[in-house]
Amino acid sequence: MFKKILIANRGEIACRVIKTARKMGIKTVAVYSEADRDALHVEMADEAVLIGPPPTAQSYLVMERILQACRDTGAEAVHPGYGFLSERAAFCEALEKEGIAFIGPKVRAIEAMGDKITSKKLAKEAGVTTVPGYTEVIKDAKEAVEIALEIGYPVMIKASAGGGGKGMRVAWNDNECRDGFERSTNEARSSFGDDRVFIEKYIEEPRHIEIQVLGDSYGNIVYLGERECSLQRRHQKVIEEAPSPFLDEITRRAMGEQAVALARAVDYQSAGTVEFIVDSKRNFYFLEMNTRLQVEHPVTEYITGLDLVEQMIRVAAGEPLSFTQDDVKLKGWAIEARVYAEDPFRNFLPSIGRLVKYMPPKESEVVRVDTGVYEGGEVSMYYDPMIAKLITYGATRDRAIAHMRDALNEFFIRGVAHNISFLAALMVHTRFMTGRISTNMIAEEYPHGFHAADAPHDDPALLIAVAAFLHRRYMDRAAQISGQLLGHESTVSNDWVVLMGGQSYPVHIDPAEGGYDVDYMGETYQVRSDWQFGQPLFKGTLNGTDICIQVERRDLHYRLFHWGSQADVMVMSPRVAGLQALMPEKAPPDMSKYLLSPMPGLLTKIAVQIGQEVKAGEELAVIEAMKMENVLRADQDARVAKILAAPGDSLAVDQSIIEFE
Ligand code: ADP
Ligand code: ADP
Ligand code: MG
């Protein structure tokens, strides 16, 4: 076994690999860019080597820097994680030349699978069902239309070198096909430096289901069940689960056996993933093979009980697999949610900044948090905006979902925008809960983006009872503190009014053992908790059921977060509440007629003119927020009345840029 390995990656995946190496008694070397000096993976590793400035092209993607770090530290093997150099055949080759093991497959497998056209041909030869289509390079838009007509619309135009959801377009007619060809070609050229595109049938109501395979250097290859990754936004996975709620035993086996056949065709060693697209009749078609550890591998680890990183390391060290296909048993259900630094309420704009507060849920048998950040750390503009992966497990799918809901309630992040509300809303969406998902579900269910109304709280009484508890505890403590004369103790009233969402709710609060009983509308809510003032998480029970609510005290009110929704509540005496009702309501200014800057940044372009009619989705302006270009688009059809900022302006968050009529 290796004594020391280097991890050529950063973030959660670097931390994930270090954990397993440590468990196996292997020393670890981290590499880091100048932006990652204080990163978690650097702290966790036994040694760390600086490999360059922040941009990935000058650090994490520079093979020679990594090779030098191996030489300097005497690392015997390299785990590439995912992304970065993980699927670069040349990197694998360069390591082999130096006698350093690549913890992944062999050069030939990476090469064959790295290209979508080549891999599709190979798959066909290996007897794997592929998406009907044309597996040659398309010359021009005219040829694209001819082929699309042959295949039959809708079709998908794809970059052969594509990855990460880039370089693909769906076309439903000749015009879209011509346009899609140009766009895919351009995107492929700029993203991958390779503009070859091909066309295949677009599978409608598709599900993305992938098979995990694992092979060793003795020709043993097994499949470890599937992962359903159909919940995607713009072809990027958001929620993954294992097993798939859609597969039956026969389809699972057929897919597994085809995946193994393909892996065998390229002498696959290590962990790899064969992705399939599955139609509503359970016909499945090969999409691509990812020759690396996949982001969503933890769900497979939960249901198989295997540590995939450990398996990869053992295989790379020359050990044979210690089990056979018959030993692989899938048990229970696991779900992964990707927690991103992006604002779901602002069209998922990426957010960067310092994690002022970062408290992930507590890990347990059923909750796993894979993260690469810590409180006080920074989410940098240079890298992937993933904050963490939250994975939960249960004996059944419903249990796994319930654990996920609870864990999301506990996940406390402040300082950068995050998508927890969105994830929580997905967890209670009927289509998700009943397993009727497809890769289009998010686009279909949130056609105009995600809004607070998409995450309503289904039990306002719960929020009212907790608000009553918070305030009463505060008042009781205040009464204790203010130096009291015997016989003159200040007493706290039992009658209060909770104000929430413009409504007032009278409550009666009685102290009880370990908390309070809150009477509201003839019902008694027993709220119990040892919550103390200032704690961000209110953990306790409501009528005996565990609850966890995030609490922020803001001036006169409390802001509560629960099940993905946010509520501002005030608690006051009936008299004050009565007066409050008489206060003239200060309506928030109507900002719907303005285009506001969603983040601080540099305005680089105004794409419209005064008087111009714009259509929903049309580009309005471009903001460069620390080297990332963010295109601001129209939410709805409108006419430009005024332009309030000019290119070159440095914008504050929420600053108005354009006023509409
Ligand atoms: P797929 O490639 O099929 O979308 P994944 O969801 O596992 O599968 O991975 C998403 C892609 O995004 C990866 O191929 C990887 O190239 C890229 N990616 C994700 N996270 C990172 C990261 N931290 N660093 C670099 N690349 C990343
Ligand atoms: P990438 O390398 O970018 O991951 P994939 O070929 O794996 O590219 O496709 C990514 C996603 O695009 C799939 O998960 C699926 O949602 C969608 N997709 C790809 N090909 C098709 C197709 N032929 N029909 C329908 N959807 C597709
Ligand atoms: Mg893919």
The residues near 587 (Cβ < 8 Å, ≥ 6 apart) are none
Q: Residue whose CA is closest, atom 19 of ligand 2?
A: 287
Q: How far is the CA of 168 from the centre of ligand 3 (A)?
A: 11
Q: How far is the CA of 224 from the centre of ligand 2 (A)?
A: 21
Q: For a substitution probing ligand 1, which of 13, 32, 290, 295 has the most ligand atoms within 8 Å of its CB?
A: 295
Which sequence spans correspond to the domains of the chain? 4-103, 106-131+207-328, 132-201, 332-455, 460-481+490-580, 594-660
Q: How far is the CA of 273 from the centre of ligand 1 (A)?
A: 13
> Cα–Cα distance between 385 and 115 in angstroms, integer?
26
Q: Which atom of ligand 2 is nearest to the CA of 162?
A: 2
Residues around ligand 3, an ion, CB closer than 5 A? 275
Nearest alpha-carbon partner for 208 in 140, 150, 295: 295
Q: How far is the CA of 296 from the centre of ligand 1 (A)?
A: 10
Q: Which of 76, 210, 288, 342 is catalytic?
A: 288
Query: Ligand 1 site: residues with CB under 6 angstroms?
Result: 11, 82-84, 163-165, 237, 290, 294-295, 383-384
pLDDT tens digits, one per residue of 268-280: 999 999 999 999 9
Q: Which atom of ligand 2 is nearest to the CA of 116?
A: 6
pLDDT tens digits, one per residue of 248-265: 999 999 999 999 999 999
State the virtual CA torsion across 277, 391, 259, 77 in degrees, nearest 10.
130
164 lines ligand 2 (CB under 6 A): yes
pLDDT tens digits, one per residue of 173-227: 999 999 999 999 998 998 888 999 999 999 999 999 999 999 999 999 999 999 9
Architecture of the domain defined by 332-455:
2-Layer Sandwich (3.30)
Rounded to the nearest angstrom, the gap between the alpha carbon of residue 398 and the centroid of all alpha carbons in its chain is 21
Q: 118 burial class (0-12, 13-18, 19+ CB within 10 angstroms)?
A: middle
Per CATH, 132-201 and 332-455 having the same topology is answered: no
In the beta sheet, which residues pair with residue 334? 242, 393
DSSP states of 383-427? S--EEEEEEEEESSHHHHHHHHHHHHHH-EEESS---HHHHHHHH
Q: Residue whose CA is closest, atom 17 of ligand 2?
A: 235
Specify the CATH number of the domain 4-103. 3.40.50.20
Q: Model's pTM, two decimal places?
A: 0.87
Q: What number of H helices and E strands is found in the chain?
A: 17, 39
> Cα–Cα distance between 189 and 183 in angstroms, integer?
10
Q: How far is the CA of 86 from the centre of ligand 3 (A)?
A: 14
Ligand nearest, relative to CA of residue 82: 1
Q: For residue 396, what pLDDT band results from cuts at 50, 70 and 90?
A: very high
Architecture of the domain defined by 460-481+490-580:
2-Layer Sandwich (3.30)
Q: Which atom of ligand 1 is nearest to the CA of 210?
A: 3
- Flag whether pLDDT at 490 surpasses 90: no
355 lines ligand 2 (CB under 6 A): no
Q: Residue whose CA is closest, atom 24 of ligand 1?
A: 83
What confidence score (pLDDT) does residue 593 get? 86
pLDDT tens digits, one per residue of 568-624: 999 999 988 888 766 665 555 666 788 988 777 789 899 999 999 998 888 899 888
pLDDT tens digits, one per residue of 408-426: 999 999 999 999 999 999 9
187 lines ligand 2 (CB under 6 A): no
411 lines ligand 2 (CB under 6 A): no
Nearest alpha-carbon partner for 299 in 360, 368, 248: 368
Q: Which atom of ligand 2 is nearest to the CA of 237?
A: 14
155 lines ligand 2 (CB under 6 A): no
435 lines ligand 2 (CB under 6 A): no
- Flag whether pLDDT at 627 surpasses 70: no
Percentage of residues of the chain with pLDDT beyond 90: 79
Secondary structure of 277-338 in HEC code, one letter for each residue = EECCCCCEEEEEEECCCCCCHHHHHHHHCCCHHHHHHHHHCCCCCCCCHHHCCCCCEEEEEE
Q: 652 with 615: CB under 8 angstroms? A: no
State the virtual CA torsion across 376, 380, 384, 389 in degrees, nearest 10.
10
Specify the CATH number of the domain 106-131+207-328. 3.30.470.20
State residue 76 phi and psi, 5-degree precision. Answer: -95, -15
594 sits in which H/E element: strand 594-596
Q: 423 with 340: CB under 8 angstroms? A: no
pLDDT tens digits, one per residue of 536-555: 999 999 999 999 999 998 87
Q: Residue whose CA is closest, atom 3 of ligand 1?
A: 164
SS3 label, residue 514: coil
What confidence score (pLDDT) does residue 601 get? 79
Q: For residue 167, what pLDDT band results from cuts at 50, 70 and 90?
A: confident
Q: How far is the CA of 158 from the centre of ligand 2 (A)?
A: 9
What confidence score (pLDDT) does residue 477 get? 82
> Cα–Cα distance between 647 and 598 in angstroms, integer?
16
pLDDT tens digits, one per residue of 327-354: 999 999 999 999 999 999 988 988 888 8
Q: Which atom of ligand 1 is nearest to the CA of 13?
A: 23
- Fold type of domain 132-201: Dna Ligase; domain 1 (3.30.1490)
End-to-end CA distance of the chain, in Å? 69
Q: For a substitution probing ligand 1, which of 16, 60, 82 has the most ligand atoms within 8 Å of its CB?
A: 82
Q: How far is the CA of 431 from the centre of ligand 1 (A)?
A: 26
Neighbours of 506 (CB within 10 A): 14
The residues near 83 (Cβ < 8 Å, ≥ 6 apart) are 9, 13, 384
114 lines ligand 2 (CB under 6 A): no
Q: Options 3.40.50.740, 3.40.50.1100, 3.40.50.2300, 2.40.50.100; which CATH number does 594-660 get?
A: 2.40.50.100
288 is catalytic: yes
Q: How far is the CA of 9 from the centre of ligand 1 (A)?
A: 12
165 lines ligand 2 (CB under 6 A): yes
